[in-house]
Amino acid sequence: MADKVLMKGNEAIAEAAILAGCRHYFGYPITPQTEIAAYMAKRMPKIGGTFLQAESEVAAINMVYGVAGAGYRVITSSSSPGISLKSEGLSYMAGSDLPAVVVNVQGGGPGLGGIQPSQSDYFQATKGGGHGDYKMIVLAPASVQEMADLTIEGFDLADKYRMTTMILADGTMGQMMEPVELKADAVKTYEKPWAVTGTKMARKHNIINSLSLVPEELEQLNFARYERYKQIEETEARWEEFMMEDAEYCIVAFGIAARVSKNAIVAARAKGIKVGLIRPITLWPFPKKVLCDAADKCKAFISVELSMGQMIEDVELATRCKKPVVLCNRAGGMIPTPEQVLAKIEEVAGGIN
Amino acid sequence: MEPKRVSLFAGHYGSGKTNIAVNYAFLLKKMGKEVTVADLDIVNPYFRTKDSEKELSEAGIPLISSAFANSNVDLPALPQELYSLVERQDRYAVLDIGGDDRGALALGRYVPFILEENNYEMFFVVNFYRPLTTTAEEAMEVMHEIEDACKMRFTAIINNSNIGNDTTARDVLATFEETEKLSRLSGLPVRMTTVTAQVAEDMKDVENILPMVLQEKYFDINI
């Protein structure tokens, strides 16, 4: 039989986490990410792992805190309102420098919102939904294959930098089915000398804590953490370029919006409009440099989003407002069509030429 | 083979039940039968029979589905019209049962009527390229969970093994051995193999192939 399997995006995340050596899942069901929990419930008992449906998202993220502190790979998943509930825990994990993978399969918001796909948690993910000075590495898959690959990479980055990686997907990415090849050779492991594993009377106590009684020390911790963030911004930005070689107009889009945009770009090219795509794969660190460079060549940027326009602010910052940036969007659980994106491309190209 | 009045399609979620149910309804219509399709899926939030409503309607096939399908209302509700399928025995009925045992639970309330009429076929849809049903043994596990949940036994197997757009005839043929094994273990006949029209072109010498037209998804591209 073929090397590939046919998976839902949610299943791909779950199986990739297991492949990455994660044996602990804590979560609470919420559409459209429930298949992650359902898959873990089936698989974890068979491989000696832990699946635990917590009494709430708040409980689940604190279980993640505990297991991460003990040095084990751990994952939790939810959808938009559930991530808001986890946000306190995410801040505490950042304050304790704990690695974990957190998945957000977004639905429309705000509030209870809806279960149809959305990208309106971009600000929450990239600017910090919780309190305090902190960042998460935010990965944005645009295919079921990437749901798997970026989960494995997410564990790697989390352990490497002792911080939380968020997989920021949307409902379609979670629900759609595509062929996937699971790549075990991409898995890396890390020593965790800081983990709370028992001193065996042979070393000093390791302490996992986010409370600092001395403000001078807390300031130093923040300085050190931001040195690490700076290094990540310099080395870990990832993106895909599509038809950018001769592009006069540049679409910026991630996840499902990038898939839709590619269709529109092919259609626009057929009409003679030179348009390309820069697809951020890391939303934090945001691929600033490639966008800044593109602003020297392109006439205008179009940010295609399933929100009221959130990433567009990062596009404007990255391009230093050198060129106009316009929004093409749907919100509340709706997806832009290729025709809508094509119409925006034609409008921008017509208006600026 | 003369189709039964009620055809039920169940299996692991993502096994392809919805596409098969829709295509089977078209097949019945082509045979001159009056048919109604029912979406009993109370599990999946997206990608449901409802997505094919226009095509079904154009072919003169009524669709009964939850008023909440494809909306933001995440309620496992079934429409009351569903009773007409078991009560009106002058029409053929195609039932798309939701994923797994949890989805099949909803079927339970109609089972006494279906068993009493005793003119049905219940298909177990399997895709051996799906992660939790890669072997006949795993598929048997899912089959039993569904039967326990809905209190009804399967009568036949449909092999829908595929890996999406990447599927070749060779990939499908490679699953025949496992399908035969599932048939031996369960004692159920393999009724047909379902493939896309494109793959069917390369399988002309194979028996019991049902070529299918799949639901269109406008983002279903991989450039």
Q: What is the CATH number of the domain that holds B122?
A: 3.40.50.300
Tell whether A2 lies on the interface with B, counting CB pairs under 8 A: yes
* pLDDT band with cut points at 50, 70 and 90 for residue A2: low
Task: State whether B46 and A172 contact (CB < 8 Å).
Answer: yes
Rg (CA), chain A: 21
In three-state form (DSSP H/G/I as H, E/B as E, the rest C), the secondary structure along A215-270 is HHHHHHHHHHHHHHHHHHHHHCCCEEEECCCCCCEEEECCHHHHHHHHHHHHHHHH
Task: State whether B72 and A108 contact (CB < 8 Å).
Answer: yes
* pLDDT band with cut points at 50, 70 and 90 for residue B221: low
Considering only the beta carbons, identify the residue of A2, A333, A335 that sits closest to B129: A2
Q: Of B71, B6, B77, whose CA–CA distance to B41 is shortest?
A: B77
* pLDDT tens-digit series, residues A161-214: 999 999 999 999 999 999 999 988 888 999 999 999 999 999 999 999 999 999
- Give the residue, B210 or B49, on which the prediction is more confident: B210
Predicted-complex ipTM score = 0.85
Q: Report the range of poorest mean pLDDT among A247-251, B201-205, B218-222.
A: B218-222
B59: enclosing H helix or E strand: none
* pLDDT tens-digit series, residues A90-111: 999 999 999 999 999 999 999 9
Task: State whether A176 and B134 contact (CB < 8 Å).
Answer: no
Considering only the beta carbons, identify the residue of A4, A35, A171 that sits closest to B166: A4
Q: Which domain holds residue B158?
A: 6-212
Structural domain contains residue A216: yes
Q: How many other β-carbons are positioned within 10 Å of the β-carbon of residue A78? A: 26
Structural domain contains residue B113: yes
Same structural domain, A334 and A224:
no
- What are B's interface residues with A at a Cβ cutoff of 8 A? 13-14, 44-47, 70-72, 74, 100, 127-132, 134, 162-166, 171, 174-175, 217-223
Same structural domain, A229 and A297:
no
Task: Please count the structural domains in chain A.
Answer: 2
* B166 chain-A contacts, CB cut-off 8 A: 2, 4, 179
* A256 chain-B contacts, CB cut-off 8 A: 219
Summary mean pLDDT of chain A: 96
Burial B31-59 (b: 16+ CB within 10 A, else e): eeeebbbbbbbbbbbbbbbbbbbebbeee
Predicted confidence (pLDDT) at residue A13 exceeds the cutoff of 70: yes
Q: How many other β-carbons are positioned within 10 Å of the β-carbon of residue A111? A: 9
Same structural domain, A19 and A168:
yes
Same structural domain, A98 and A124:
yes
Structural domain contains residue B76: yes
- HSE of A44, CA atoms in CB hemisphere, 13 A: 21
Tokens describing residue A33: 């990410």
Structural domain contains residue B219: no
Distance of alpha carbon A58 from the chain centroid: 20
Same structural domain, A220 and A91:
yes
Q: Which domain holds residue A97?
A: 5-192+209-235
Alpha carbon of A124: minimum distance to chain B alpha carbons (Å): 22
Q: Of A351, A16, A27, whose CA–CA distance to A185 is shortest?
A: A16
pLDDT value, residue B5: 96
Structural domain contains residue A104: yes
* B47 chain-A contacts, CB cut-off 8 A: 175-176
Task: State whether B72 and A4 contact (CB < 8 Å).
Answer: no
The last residue of one of the domains, among A179, A200, A235, is A235
Structural domain contains residue A202: no
Residue A179 CA to residue A210 CA, distance in Å, equals 42
pLDDT value, residue B45: 67
Structural domain contains residue B70: yes
Structural domain contains residue B222: no
A190 - beta bridge partners?
Answer: none
pLDDT value, residue A36: 97
Q: Report the range of poorest mean pLDDT among A218-222, A271-275, A349-353, B144-148.
A: A349-353
Q: Which amino acid is at A136?
A: M
Task: State whether B132 and A2 contact (CB < 8 Å).
Answer: no
Same structural domain, A174 and A299:
no
Task: Please count the structural domains in chain B.
Answer: 1
Predicted confidence (pLDDT) at residue A81 exceeds the cutoff of 60: yes
* pLDDT tens-digit series, residues A291-329: 999 999 999 999 999 999 999 999 999 999 999 999 999
Same structural domain, A22 and A136:
yes
Structural domain contains residue A203: no
Same structural domain, A71 and A171:
yes
* B132 chain-A contacts, CB cut-off 8 A: 39, 42-43
Residue B104 CA to residue B112 CA, distance in Å, equals 14
Structural domain contains residue B85: yes
Kindly identify which residue of chain B lies nearest to residue A9, measuring between CA atoms: B14
pLDDT value, residue A137: 98
* DSSP assigned state of A117: B
Phi, psi of A4 (to 5 degrees): -95, 155
Kindly identify which residue of chain B lies nearest to residue A145, measuring between CA atoms: B222
Same structural domain, A68 and A129:
yes
Residue A308 CA to residue B202 CA, distance in Å, equals 47
Structural domain contains residue A200: no
Task: State whether B132 and A42 contact (CB < 8 Å).
Answer: yes
* B129 chain-A contacts, CB cut-off 8 A: 1-2, 4-6, 179
Q: How many other β-carbons are positioned within 10 Å of the β-carbon of residue B105? A: 19
Same structural domain, A16 and A142:
yes
Same structural domain, A44 and A179:
yes
CATH code, domain with A19: 3.40.50.970
Structural domain contains residue B58: yes
3-class DSSP state of A69 = helix
Same structural domain, A244 and A134:
no
CATH code, domain with A321: 3.40.50.920
Structural domain contains residue B217: no
